[in-house]
Amino acid sequence: MAPHTRRDAAEREPVEAFGEVVCFSDIFRKEVSLINERRGTHDPRGHIVLETEAREDTSGHPVLRPNEEACVVGLALSGGGIRSAAFCLGALQALNETGVLRRVDYLSTVSGGGYIGCSLTAALNASSGNFPFTSRIAEDEPPSLQHIRDHSNYLFANGVVDVLHNASIYARGLLANAVVILPFLLVAAALTLIAWNIFGLPRFVVTTYLSLLLAVAAIGWGVYRSGSPRQREPEIPSYPAKVVGTLVILVLISAFCELQPYLLNAMLESQTAASGSGPLLAVAAGWIKTISAALAPAAVALAFLRSKVEEFIKSARESPRTRAKIAGYAAKAAVYVAALILPLLLWMVYLEITLWGICINARLPHCSAPARLNNLADYLFGTTGHNATLLYLVIAALFVLITLLLRPNANSLHPLYRDHLAKAFLFKPEERLTKDKDLQEERPLLSDISAVAGPYHLINAALNIQNSKTANKRGRNADFFLFSSQFVGSKTTGYIATRDMEEIPNGLDLATAMAVSGAAASSNMGAESIKPLTPTLALLNIRLGYWLRNPARVKEAGPANRSSTSLFSRLRRRHNVFANYYFLLELFGLLNEKLKSVYLTDGGHIENLGVYELLKRRCRVIIVIDAVADQEMAFGSLNTMERYARIDLGVRIDLPWQELTNVARKISKTIDDTGDCPKLAGPHCAIGEIAYPGDRRGVLIYIKSSLTGDENDYIFHYKRRYSQFPHETTLDQMFSEEQFEAYRALGFHAVYKLFDRNDRFAHLDPAKCPHTRAQIALLDHLFPRVSTDAEPGQRQRFAEWLSADPLGAA
């Protein structure tokens, strides 16, 4: 044992009160004790013993690592929606067939990999550890496999019925969002009616005075900074900078407010001229004239620069680099244009209802307000001259009261998504089924998952922290968030016992964790967030994300069965969980780790392979199944993971992935050009090295969704007709039987051929990397070849490939 190792301290079991926040070393101890229980006395690797490194983490807690002799094995299933679920299903079947799966201690899943990973966990839990997706070529396919295949179109498994059902739920969510937003529009209209004379002053008087004050402040700031004693003071942050910045914001707000009366006057004047076509149409016509006048000088300038423009267009046609730049600029422009559409529509709605209020209050003869609205205002408030204003405030108050009854997750798309996924992937396995019977849905609580039935499951999500001043210093907009049978949480929020989180009434179970881990489409998407589109996506209810009680603040709420039942206590517990509060946080991206509830989305919004948590646990062998859409074979998700590992964990990864890229690109191009290709025995896999702190080494087995030419006929038949296979877009979540089977069969082929020693693999050069031979020998020891149908000359060990011809077939 190393001199700095202290095993006694590492083996202590943590004791927690309800909602007690624990550190990572505490949860690691608990996980290892459960893994040891599963290993029992028959695993030749023996029990895992945790050692304490000679350093502490950034929070001052001890850094633990498993002893090398225990050879902790982790399996990561990547994101990628139903595409990844299908590919990873085949991979799991192959791992089971080759005896590798029983050696896996940790299962780490993200998004689509989580679909099939959670399916496996639920099935193992319900069947005492029996693998549910046995691969056998027979007429009676296992019901579990048949069930998933039948639900590959999981969002619309029942056809038109599901279409109507999904549409009605989506419409309900839009109406719920409207209930939250309309009070703001009505109050804005009412304030405009009240303040008509204030902001109706000619020539933007308030804005003019504020602009003058801004100019004086800026000049004064310049004089202040010119003093020699102050030239060494920091510019930012400073009190003058805050004052000037505040004045700039006030000028913009004032200018916008003072613009409204001009627009409303134009709309009023257009009532007669519009001839019944509506005031908005008339205003739009006026704007078109104004824009045309503004564009006229630009058109003249364009005429003079015609030759330069033609030269630029010609260059764009001939230069791929220029085309790429233009495409990038066009994409950014399209995002900003799309981001403006819905806010502009809301602005027009505000103008229209304000105009109605003016017409009702002033009783104008050519009023465009709806007759029923006019009559209702008169009936309730008479002819006071402020009846529309009062009506708007009353309606706004009613809507606010309604929002108090809404909950953050109730009307998002999360429940719909969760239920479809649960129906497709969470079930109780059966040996045989009659024709008219389906598998029974199985939705266990996370804390009810057996520790000995299968690998310890880590379900990865992303904690959105776009507005955090401390946790988001690196600009990732997200942190790693974990669901497991024992603990829930993140480094930022801390971790608490899963059973404690389940006692909070938030619906947390395995189905919820699976859906959160795969919540790819949302208004806020961690590192993948599109900030200009955040309000638009939120308003359109593109919200698969989930609000979960902050682990750091669960203790405040107390368990449901111990909480007071008084009306005051219930109202107090509901404080800050109102839908309007959290919806507004989503709308403007004001998300951080200190809120009472935190916003979680797809784990791929920070790391899409699921490897990070396995590296954090110092797994000696990590098997990665990468089914990410990567048409260019650029390995973007791998590069992102390597960067996080190096910065956060001090872990360096050396993986020879370039050979996979070269072969896959060559095969794909040959198939596209000729319809055929050479049959190469791999590589689908690259085996590399993990360099942990403290001079510890690990092995990374990286299996990529790719073609090498020796796949079966129906995989190639599908590839010939769909050139993007096996990297079709994740937007396609409606797989056909053929499509699902092509990905499943490819996953089985890539993994089985590797562990049966039929496929070559990319590896580090033993002459340059002295640990390569020892690491490959470790794989031969951990995962001996189990197939008995070896042909003459069949390789029996991974090590035999180290000296093989790099282009040779098996």
pLDDT of residue 11: 46
Over range 260-275, report the average pLDDT. 72
Tens-digit pLDDT profile for residues 161-203: 999 999 999 999 999 999 999 999 999 999 988 876 555 556 6
Mean pLDDT of 417-438: 89
Instruction: Report the relative pairing of strands 546-549 and 487-490 from DSSP bridges.
Output: unpaired
What would the mean pLDDT of 374-382 be, rounded to a whole number?
82
Residue with tokens 């689908």: 684
Q: What is the mean pLDDT of residues 689-694?
A: 94
- Distance in Å from the first CA to the final CA of the chain: 42
123 confidence band (pLDDT: 50, 70, 90): very high
pLDDT band at 376 (very low <50, low <70, confident <90, very high): confident
Distance CA 707, CA 778 (A): 27
Contact 45, 39 (CB under 8 A): yes
DSSP string, 388-405: HHHHHHHHHHHHHHHHTT
The two structure tokens encoding residue 619: 């797994």
User: Over pLDDT 70: what percentage of the chain?
Assistant: 83
Residue for token digits 């490959």? 776
- The 10 Å Cβ neighbour count of residue 737 is 11
Mean pLDDT value across residues 336-361: 88
Q: CA dihedral in degrees (199, 201, 202, 207; nearest 10)?
A: -60
Decide: 622 and 698 in contact? Cβ < 8 Å. Answer: yes
Tokens 């690109």 locate to: 665
The DSSP result for 243-268, as a single string, is HHHHHHHHHHHHHHHHHHHHHHHHHH
Q: Chain-centre distance of CA 313, in angstroms?
A: 38
- In this prediction, residues 248-264 reach a mean pLDDT of 86
List the one residue out of 712, 722, 747 whose CA is nearest residue 113: 747
- Which pLDDT tens digit goes with each residue over 65-92? 999 999 999 999 999 999 999 999 999 9
Q: b/e for 96-133, b at 16 or more Cβ within 10 A?
A: bbbebbebbbbbbbbbbbbbbbbbbbbbbbbbeeebbb
More confident position, 165 or 787: 165
265 or 722, which is more confident: 722
pTM greater than 0.75 (yes/no): yes
* Cα–Cα distance, 115 to 121 (Å, whole number): 10
Alpha-helical segments (H) within 198-318: 205-226, 239-273, 279-304, 306-318
Say what the pLDDT of residue 275 is: 46
* Structural tokens at position 312: 């630029």
In whole angstroms, what is the distance from residue 791 CA to residue 428 CA? 39
User: Contact 10/29 with Cβ under 8 angstroms?
Assistant: yes
Q: Does the structure show a pLDDT above 60 at 402?
A: yes
Report yes or no: 173 and 586 within 8 Å, Cβ to Cβ: no
Tokens in use for 693? Answer: 């702190």
Average pLDDT, the chain: 85
Look at residue 317 in the predicted model and tell me its pLDDT: 58
Three-class secondary structure of residue 709 per DSSP: strand
pLDDT at residue 312 greater than cutoff 50: yes
Residue 632's pLDDT band (cuts 50, 70, 90): very high
In the DSSP assignment, the letter for residue 645 is I
DSSP 3-state helix, strand, coil percentages of the chain (rounded to 5)?
55, 10, 35
The pLDDT assigned to 300 comes to 60
Vertex 466: Cα angle to 464 and 470 (nearest 5): 100
pLDDT band at 207 (very low <50, low <70, confident <90, very high): confident
Q: What is the pLDDT of residue 1?
A: 39
> What was the pLDDT predicted at 258?
82
- Position 750 scores a pLDDT of 96
Q: Are 122 and 510 in contact (CB under 8 A)?
A: yes
7 pLDDT above the threshold of 50: no
pLDDT at 507: 86
Residue 24 has pLDDT above 70, yes or no: yes
Q: Does residue 412 surpass a pLDDT of 70?
A: yes
pLDDT for the residue 2:
41
Count of beta carbons in the 10 Å neighbourhood of residue 319: 12
State how far Cα 102 lies from the chain centre: 30
Q: Which CA distances in Å does 656 have to 78, 638, 683?
A: 19, 12, 11
Q: What is the DSSP string of 87-130?
A: HHHHHHHHHHHTT-GGG--EEEEEHHHHHHHHHHHHHHHHTTT-
**Mean pLDDT value of segment 769-790:** 86
The bridge status of strand 621-626 relative to strand 696-704 is parallel
CB 429 within 8 A of CB 130: yes
pLDDT band at 371 (very low <50, low <70, confident <90, very high): confident
Rounded to whole angstroms, the maximal C-alpha distance in the chain is: 100
Which candidate, 151, 22, 26, 143, places its Cα nearest to that of 82? 151
257 pLDDT more than 90: no
Q: What's the CA gap between 9 and 7, in Å, rounded?
A: 6
Residue 76, phi then psi, degrees to nearest 5: -115, 130
pLDDT in tens, 523-563: 999 988 888 889 999 999 999 999 999 999 998 877 665 55
Which tokens belong to 294? 């503004």
Question: Half-sphere exposure (CA, 13 Å, Cβ side) for 437?
Answer: 12
Q: Quick check: 611 and 702 in contact, CB under 8 A?
A: no
Q: Say what the pLDDT of residue 573 is.
A: 53
Q: Please give the residue that has the higher pLDDT: either 379 or 6.
A: 379
Tokens 């079709």, residue?
Answer: 728
Q: What is the pLDDT of residue 283?
A: 55
Measured in degrees and rounded to the nearest 5, phi and psi for residue 546 equal -140, 135
All residues at 6 or more sequence positions from 741 whose CB lies less than 8 Å from its CB, including other chains: 86, 149, 714
> And the tokens for 551?
């682990």
The label of the residue with tokens 């967030």 reads: 529
